[in-house]
Amino acid sequence: MTTKTSLRTFQSEIEKIRHREVVRQRDQTAAERAKEKESKKTPVRSGAAELSTSAPTQGGAIDPQVREPAGLSDAGAGLSDVDEQIQSLLLSASSADHDKARDIIASILTRRKGEYILRIGAHPPHSKLFSKTPGSLEGSDAWHGTARTVEELDALQREVQEIVTDIGGVTTVLFDTRTERPRATLLLRLPPADVSVTPEVRCAVVGNVDSGKSTTLGVLTRGALDDGRGRARVSLFRHKHEIESGRTSSVGMEILGFGPSGAPILPSTAHLNDAEVIRREKLGWEEISAKAAKIVSFIDLAGHERYLKTTLYGLTSGAPSCVILIVGGNAGLIGMSKEHLAIALALSVPVVVCITKIDMTPPNVLTKTIEQVTKIMQSPGCRKTTVFVQSAETAVELSQVFAAERLCPVFQLSNVTGAGLDYLRTFLNLLPASESDTEKFAADQPLEYSVTEIWSVPYVGTVVDGILNSGTIKNGDSVLIGPDANGNYQSTVVKSIQRKRAPVTSAEAGQCVSLALKRVRKSAIRKGMVLVHKSETPPRAVRRFEGQVLILYHNTTLQKNYQAMLHCGAIRQTVRIVNMDHPQGILRTGDRATVTFEFISHPEFIKEGMKLLFREGKTKGLGVITRLL
């Protein structure tokens, strides 16, 4: 039977179903491996449990709290026990304590893939720091951590810098204040060994036409400010008609690299005014990748209504860590911006808002835009708390907790004067890597690679681009690609692998890589196919499946044989409703039901627990796959 349910309740149930299916599938894989390799000594990870394989440090065992996320286990905490322990050891007169502090820092950098944020001194609670009217933080109670003097602050910064430099890393001061409560936040970062292990953050950039998406990306990635007439965005356009119309029509990809010090990697022409020189002298991806300690990949999505299906595909197939919603300060949250926001919320992707054009927007209009954004974000459909980023300290703390605490960071930017851009760069530089989400990506599971783009490259052959959902892959691996129109898989071999256009020898779960394949025609591959390791029993291709769905909007009634475009990961295909658990066989807006779908064109590789989004015209539905038929 159908029932009326809220989007928030349904999303919670979807997450439970997805988590349950992920655990079941991982347990099943672990059991199969244990059965096949009983003599293997290496322990197999079971379920969603995560084994820590870091080697013990020289100074003895690390305290248990080192394994906990720094300052994130408690929603109100701003300082972890690890930070306190490091400070106490470094302020000790004993050389043995200093050695132990060095071991802890080295170990924690290894465990966190070369990046750690260390807080020194007493820090304000997040509730006060993120408040709309923070006022003076000095009078606030419930500060976290031990208060330090200016002398202790300087001594600790020197000690930490010496230790990190000694182990080959770089220390950067993110925030430092010498007021009544001296405190500092440091970024400790180790340069990656090569591009194959460089952390990556994927961000989808959406917004209405003329909101400033491409201009903002042009300024962030090229470094040169805009001239107010669109100079910054021209270098991002890929097609002639985009340059002529000034509108993005395709899914573009731009990257911003941050060095070990946290400084953005920009071309040498960043401060010139000649648009043609800036366009011609831009840094290549391979150059950025070679210098970067972290890469932020921007999926630049189209803002016009006619390209909505392209935007939807980018959001579902790109597995972004967050959605950056660009709102023009002079126009507000209008048109497709609301549609993009609704899709991001339906897919449970964290949202970051950037209000642009603040240099040309009258103060009263800008105030109305800010009020509108706040009102929409706090509405029952969103239920997010807006946090306006107006300090480096806020940007640092917010980057670590905004997704888990349902916060919505709001940046006010001017691409002409540069106002607010430093806070946004700091925020992006500190976002957790996309591949670190072990709930989505598991390296110890069987190979599963989703194809999102296909090319035919001269003297190379067929090249596919996509995301490794699970497992690892390396040069020379024999794989199967499919399913084709008949549900079959074709055998091929991985000739070479590239990550951000730089050659690598292997890739692991969560990474976005390109693969050159042997003996496969481009015409034989389509978006939505998967690569799996070669085996006698390839995964089953499915024509029909069952799912729990919620109708977000439909202007009349939805019945059997209704057809809509389904988006499920990298899959985009028309489906037909075969059956629904309703006595009258109809669904309306707000109805929830168990629905049986059938792919119209060809079978696909899908799994229980995958989220799905279907639309046709203004009709939209959200759901999760519960059973394969």
The reply to whether 215 and 239 lie within a common domain is yes
Instruction: For residue 88, tell me if it sits in a domain.
Output: yes
Residue 327: predicted pLDDT: 94
Assign residue 273 a region (left: φ > 0; alpha: ψ between -120 and 50; beta: otherwise). Answer: alpha
Pairwise CA distance, residues 470 & 532, whole Å: 10
pTM above 0.95, yes or no: no
Same domain, 248 and 350: yes
The count of structural domains within the chain is: 4
Give the residue, 79 or 107, on which the prediction is more confident: 107
Any idea which of 270-284, 537-551, 583-597 has the lowest mean pLDDT? 270-284
Q: Is 45 a domain residue?
A: no
The CA distance from 482 to 628, in Å, is: 17
Q: Kindly indicate the confidence band of residue 346, based on its pLDDT and cuts at 50, 70 and 90.
A: confident
Look at residue 34 and tell me if it is in a domain.
no
**518-548 pLDDT, tens digit each:** 999 999 999 999 999 998 889 999 999 999 9
Residue 432 — pLDDT band, cuts 50, 70, 90?
very high
Q: Are 271 and 401 in the same domain?
A: yes
| Percentage, residues of the chain above pLDDT 70 | 84
Does residue 474 or residue 145 have the better pLDDT?
Answer: 474
Q: What is the model's pLDDT at position 46? A: 41
- Same structural domain for residues 248 and 107? no
Q: Do residues 565 and 614 make contact, with C-beta atoms less than 8 angstroms apart?
A: yes
Same domain for 360 and 285? yes
What pLDDT sits at residue 393?
92
Distance (Å, whole) CA 491 – CA 119: 52
Specify the higher pLDDT residue, 295 or 616: 295
- Name the pLDDT band for 369 (thresholds 50, 70, 90): very high
pLDDT on residue 67: 40
Q: Which of 351, 247, 255, 242 is nearest to 296 (CA)?
A: 255
Question: Mind listing the pLDDT tens digit for each residue in 381-411?
Answer: 788 999 999 999 999 999 999 988 889 999 9
3-state per-residue secondary structure call for 309-337: HHHHHHHHHCCCCEEEEEEECCCCCCCHH
Question: Do the domain assignments include residue 57?
Answer: no
CATH code for position 371: 3.40.50.300
Over 50: is that where the pLDDT of 78 sits? no
* DSSP code at position 61: P
- CATH number at 591 reads 2.40.30.10
32 falls in which pLDDT band (50, 70, 90)? confident
User: In which domain, by residue range, is 129 found?
Assistant: 66-189
Residue 565 has pLDDT above 90, yes or no: yes
Look at strands 530-533 and 571-580 and give their pairing.
unpaired
**94 with 180, same domain?**
yes
Cβ–Cβ under 8 Å, residues 215 and 415: yes
Does 547 share its domain with 527? no
pLDDT grade for 310, boundaries at 50, 70 and 90: confident
The pLDDT of residue 57? 36
pLDDT (mean) for 336-349: 86
Given 408, 436, 464, the domain boundary residue is 436
Q: What is the pLDDT of residues 198-256, one digit of tens each?
A: 999 999 998 888 888 888 988 898 887 877 666 666 555 454 444 444 454 445 788 99
Residue 371 in domain = yes
pLDDT > 60? residue 43: no
Residue 378 falls within a domain, yes or no? yes
DSSP annotation of 306 reads: G
- Domain membership of residue 171 (yes or no) is yes
pLDDT on residue 306? 67
**Mean pLDDT for the stretch of residues 313-322:** 88
Work out the pLDDT band at 257, boundaries 50, 70, 90: very high
CB of 169 within 8 A of CB of 179? Answer: no
Q: Is the pLDDT of residue 20 over 70?
A: yes
Please tell me the predicted confidence (pLDDT) of residue 347.
86
Locus of tokens 């691409």? 415
Domain presence at residue 36: no
Within this chain, do residues 213 and 149 fall inside the same structural domain, yes or no?
A: no
Beta strands in 182-321 (DSSP E): 183-189, 200-207, 252-258, 264-265, 294-300
The answer to whether residues 212 and 110 belong to one domain is no
**Same domain as 488, residue 416:** no
Q: Which of 533, 559, 590 is the last residue of a domain?
A: 533
For residues 310 and 343, membership in a common domain is answered with yes
- Of the residues 481, 500, 533, the one at which a domain ends: 533
Higher pLDDT residue, 311 or 198? 198
Mean pLDDT rounded to a whole number for the chain: 84
Beta strands 512-517 and 591-599 are unpaired
Residues 559 and 487 in one domain: no
Average pLDDT, integer, range 150-156 = 94
Question: Does 184 have pLDDT greater than 60?
Answer: yes
Per mean pLDDT, which of 185-189, 223-227, 278-282 is the most reliable?
185-189
Q: Which residues of 523-537 are buried (b: 16+ CB within 10 A; e: fewer)?
A: ebbbbbbbbbbeeee
Of the pLDDT bands very low, low, confident and very high (cuts 50, 70, 90), residue 4 is low
For 476-492, what is the mean pLDDT? 95
